[in-house]
């Protein structure tokens, strides 16, 4: 019962974090467009968050080592609250880009501390269940946060205040816990050469998914604003890809356990490319727009988890953590570059050009995976890694430690 209460408190803190993060991310894109920020500036807001997230993933473990988990987490919660309130008080494109860096930093730090604590209170037998529940809660909370914008709108102070309350309330479960603080945050050596040697497809897939999902998550709400959609319509429109992407992970993941995973990645990448090309060719409206956005999420979001499983099919014993960390860094680089490049394309042509970016990188992934199938066939009779859902945008090195596949890197408990 004591362990269950600890986990429930951590789940609550994580849910509040993701609620605030989902609301803030969508709110800044739409409110920034309404304030007249340039498309390039809006793209850099997404880039700033990604850069801050990477910096937080690398820097927060040293902070935790100096002051402990609870104090470091308190700093992260306070920083998140301060940044979203400053977003309200300092409505400026350059200011929002800088603040988004701090927001990404604190979000990475808070997520790492929650995940390391979950890893501490679970064991090898329960870690798989804990990990699945954690991913599900994050997904639901983030979606609810986005949908909240359909009620609050983007004008006025209310959505910023709600986001700030969520961030600061996320501190309460940690501050009130009586359990001992966990061991120092887990970290993994990042070895991109190991990843390239183990699975070139996984390396390319993580970068392409970062480029496409970073572009879509940051600039698709801006595209909706330019199309004349209201805040509630944009909230619904951006929630559909997340929901359908969550639904599609299980069937496509299970399919990848039975056939060459690269075929599944090719199918999904082609569908993602079709969604982008449909936007470019037809520029649909009404229900057609919802359908194409749903198709994008249905196809694009499972790719990363399948790529992780594919890389581990060829990994040596004890390589999971290094490979997963390498994929996270590669994904983060794409996540930072994508919005800025797509924003330049939108400025140079028209808003729908962002889908040229998503289509191009999905096609690139499909072609590369097909070529690699000719170079290295897969023996389906050999033992392969089982697919598991991976929370890509919120993944940190601590997520790698929480994943039950990391048990392979640890000595068995007696």
Domains in the chain: boundaries: 2-175, 192-385
Pick from 10-14, 80-84, 206-210, 324-328: least confident: 324-328
Measured distance CA(318)–CA(355) in Å, rounded: 39
Query: Which CATH number among 1.10.3660.10, 3.90.79.10, 1.20.1250.20, 2.60.40.1480 corresponds to the domain 2-175?
Result: 1.20.1250.20
- Evaluate whether 262 touches 384 at the Cβ level (below 8 Å): no
> Average pLDDT of 199-226?
91
Class of domain 192-385: mainly alpha
Q: Does 410 have pLDDT greater than 70?
A: no
Q: Which residue's entry shows tokens 């392409």?
A: 208
> Average pLDDT of 300-327?
76
> Average pLDDT of 6-33?
87
pTM: 0.84
* pLDDT tens column, 154-166: 888 999 999 999 9
List Cβ neighbours of 197 (8 Å cut-off, separation of 6 or more).
none
Mean pLDDT score across all residues of the chain? 83
Q: Which residue's entry shows tokens 């499983």?
A: 309
Q: Which residue's entry shows tokens 């490319």?
A: 273
List Cβ neighbours of 114 (8 Å cut-off, separation of 6 or more).
10, 13, 14, 17, 73, 398
- What DSSP character marks residue 405? G
Pick from 121-125, 154-158, 186-190, 196-200: least confident: 186-190
List Cβ neighbours of 267 (8 Å cut-off, separation of 6 or more).
none
List Cβ neighbours of 230 (8 Å cut-off, separation of 6 or more).
none
Measured distance CA(137)–CA(313) in Å, rounded: 28
pLDDT, residue 412, reads: 41
> Average pLDDT of 120-125?
68
Pick from 42-56, 187-201, 256-270, 346-360: least confident: 187-201
> Average pLDDT of 31-53?
91
Q: Which residue's entry shows tokens 């996270």?
A: 328
pLDDT bin (cut points 50, 70, 90) of residue 71 is: confident
Residue 90's alpha-carbon distances to 77, 80, 82, in angstroms, are 20, 15, 11
Same fold, 2-175 and 192-385: yes
> Average pLDDT of 390-397?
60
Measured distance CA(84)–CA(28) in Å, rounded: 9
First to last CA, the chain: 22
Quick count: other Cβ atoms within 10 Å of Cβ 385?
18
């Amino acid at each position: 019962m004591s362990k269950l209460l600890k986990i429930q408190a951590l789940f609550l803190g994580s849910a509040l974090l993701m609620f605030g993060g989902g609301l803030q991310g969508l709110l800044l894109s739409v409110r920034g467009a309404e304030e007249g920020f340039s498309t390039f500036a809006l793209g850099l807001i997404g880039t700033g968050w990604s850069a801050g997230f990477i910096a937080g993933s690398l820097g927060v473990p040293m902070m935790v080592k100096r002051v402990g988990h609870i104090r470091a987490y308190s700093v992260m919660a306070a920083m998140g609250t301060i940044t979203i309130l400053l977003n309200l008080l300092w409505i400026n494109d350059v200011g929002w880009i800088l603040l988004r860096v701090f927001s990404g930093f604190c979000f990475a730090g808070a997520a790492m501390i929650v995940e390391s604590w979950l890893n501490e209170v679970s064991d090898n037998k329960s870690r798989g269940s804990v990990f699945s529940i954690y991913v599900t809660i994050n997904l639901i909370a983030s979606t609810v946060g986005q949908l909240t914008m359909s009620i609050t709108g983007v004008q006025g102070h209310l959505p910023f205040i709600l986001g700030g309350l969520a961030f600061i309330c996320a501190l309460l479960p940690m501050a009130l816990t009586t359990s001992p603080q966990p061991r120092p945050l887990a970290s993994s050596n990042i070895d991109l050469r190991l990843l390239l040697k183990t699975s070139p497809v996984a390396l390319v897939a993580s970068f392409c998914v970062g480029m496409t999902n970073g572009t879509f998550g940051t600039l698709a709400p801006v595209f909706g604003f330019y199309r004349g959609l209201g805040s509630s319509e944009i909230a619904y429109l951006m929630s559909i890809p997340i929901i359908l992407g969550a639904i599609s992970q299980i069937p496509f993941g299970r399919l990848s356990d039975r056939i060459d995973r690269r075929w599944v990645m090719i199918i999904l990448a082609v569908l993602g490319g079709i969604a982008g090309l449909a936007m470019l060719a037809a520029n649909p409206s009404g229900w057609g727009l919802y359908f194409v956005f749903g198709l994008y999420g249905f196809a694009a979001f499972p790719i990363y988890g399948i790529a992780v499983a594919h890389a581990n099919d060829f990994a040596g014993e004890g390589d999971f953590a290094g490979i997963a960390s390498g994929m996270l860094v590669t994904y983060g680089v794409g996540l930072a570059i994508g919005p800025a490049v797509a924003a330049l394309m939108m400025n140079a042509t028209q808003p729908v050009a962002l889908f040229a970016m998503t289509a191009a990188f999905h096609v690139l992934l499909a072609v590369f995976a097909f070529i690699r199938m000719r170079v290295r066939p897969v023996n389906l009779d050999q033992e392969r890694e089982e697919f598991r859902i991976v929370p890509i945008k919120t993944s940190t090195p601590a997520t790698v430690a929480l994943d039950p596949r990391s048990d392979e890197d640890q000595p068995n408990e007696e």
